[in-house]
Amino acid sequence: MSSAVHRDDIGSKIGMWLFIFTELLFFGGLFIVYSVYRFKNPVAFHLAAEELDVMIGTVNTVILLISSMTVAMSITAVQLGERKRAILLLSITVILALVFLVNKYFEWSSKIGHGIYPGSETLIELGTGEVLFFGLYFSMTGLHALHLLIGVTILIVMLAKVINSSVNTGYFVQLENSGLYWHLVDLIWIFLFPLFYLIS
């Protein structure tokens, strides 16, 4: 029975790594599209990037880095049988994720409030380069936010499982896979942040 469970755990991890690989390919394609358009419109992309709030982007980067640390620490806590510490660390991870989403909401709201969003007359008047930049900005950060929302939902489920002890010292592969997914969300943002906020 234990060997069957072990094989299931290995299969689950392989499946998660394959999923992460396909996601990296998907976002890698978007990064290539971004690079091509940036190469063709360097000045417009530079000017458009100045409309973004670097401070918010920096804060969100720090938030995700800390959340990756706390989710990794929660996995270790479960492995060591420290259930209360795992619950605390997962709770912190969820709170940090929600803070990220709130920051992103206000950032998007600010841009939309100034008439900067795909298809707006204000954006069209700025020129093709700006249209391309903000089109990519909203689509790529929006996709990332969607992945983050899915990730935080998964983490909430994992938190409930740790609380009721269905994820424990003897069975924690679900939490490990959830952590891998969360690290993927973090990694994607590590690329998005400099591309959009620190462009020069």
Domain 2-197 annotated CATH 1.20.120.80: yes
Among the ranges given (24-33, 107-116, 150-159), the one the predictor scored with the smallest mean pLDDT = 107-116
The residues, ordered by sequence, that sit 6+ positions from 190 with a Cβ below 8 Å of its Cβ are 61, 64
Among the ranges given (73-82, 115-124, 177-186, 190-199), the one the predictor scored with the smallest mean pLDDT = 115-124
Q: Are 98 and 159 in contact (CB under 8 A)?
A: no
To the question of pTM greater than 0.75 for the whole model, the response is: yes
pLDDT at position 114: 86
Q: What percent of the chain has pLDDT over 90?
A: 77
Q: For the chain, report the end-to-end CA distance as a whole number of angstroms.
A: 58
Give me the residue spans of the domains in the chain. 2-197
Give tens-digit pLDDT for 107-117: 999 999 888 88
pLDDT beyond 80 at 200: no
Give tens-digit pLDDT for 165-181: 999 898 889 999 999 99
Q: Which residue has the higher pLDDT, 152 or 4?
A: 152
Mean pLDDT rounded to a whole number for the chain = 91
Q: What are phi and psi of 70, to 5 degrees?
A: -70, -35
- State the alpha helices, DSSP H only, in the chain: 2-40, 42-49, 54-79, 83-113, 121-126, 128-163, 173-197
pLDDT at position 1: 43
pLDDT beyond 60 at 4: no
pLDDT beyond 90 at 125: no
